[in-house]
Amino acid sequence: MRSLRCFLLFLFLFQGAFAATGKIWSRTEMVEMAGYGEQKLSSVIITGSLLCDTSSPHLPSIAIPGATVAIKCHTGYKRRSKWIKAVTDDLGEFEIDLPSQLHAIPDMENTCVVKPVHVPKLYRCNHRSTNAHKRIKLVSSNNGFRVYTSGKIKLQDHSSRS
């Protein structure tokens, strides 16, 4: 909202100054002059998968579709971002596109954690266990596009407890 007000002020103030030259500025030119762009300058994507570990050497881990996972990052002294959430797909995989205000966090691998926040009742896995928090790892960085992964987050199956 603040950036919109700044843009409108910029438009108002400079409209009269440029009117004397007889040039009418297009919306695109005004946006560029004001320093606002319609194209994203960077993207940060977090990927991973959520599995229910059966703890059996004979049974593979089971993907958990429809679960909610979230990422939170430390953004300064005693400050954290809000939880940014995503829902796992049919293969238990998720993708979170971080908001641009979090792109400049230094040392993202040590300041951000991913955790499951909701698991469908059909899957009897404990998502409140302490090992459910996972750090992220940078896997790709190219032309302002970074991809991090939490890897496989394995939750303990309730039925496998003794």
To the nearest 10 degrees (0 to 180), the angle between helices 27-34 and 2-19 is: 110
Q: What are the beta bridge partners of residue 96?
A: 46
- At 102-124, the pLDDT tens digits run 888 878 898 899 999 998 888 77
Mean pLDDT of the chain: 77
pTM of structure? 0.68
Residue 30 CB partners (closer than 8 Å, separation 6+) = 7, 10, 11
pLDDT value at position 3? 54
Contact between 135 and 151 under an 8 Å Cβ cutoff? The reply is no
CA angle 110, 42, 134 (to 5 degrees): 25
pLDDT value at position 8? 55
pLDDT value at position 162? 41
CA distances from 74 to 20, 78, 106, 108, 135 (A): 50, 8, 10, 9, 12
Per-residue pLDDT of the chain (162 residues; tens, 9 = 90+): 555 555 555 555 555 544 555 677 676 666 555 555 555 678 899 999 999 887 777 788 889 999 999 998 877 666 666 789 999 999 999 999 998 888 888 788 988 999 999 988 887 776 565 456 899 999 999 888 899 999 999 888 765 444
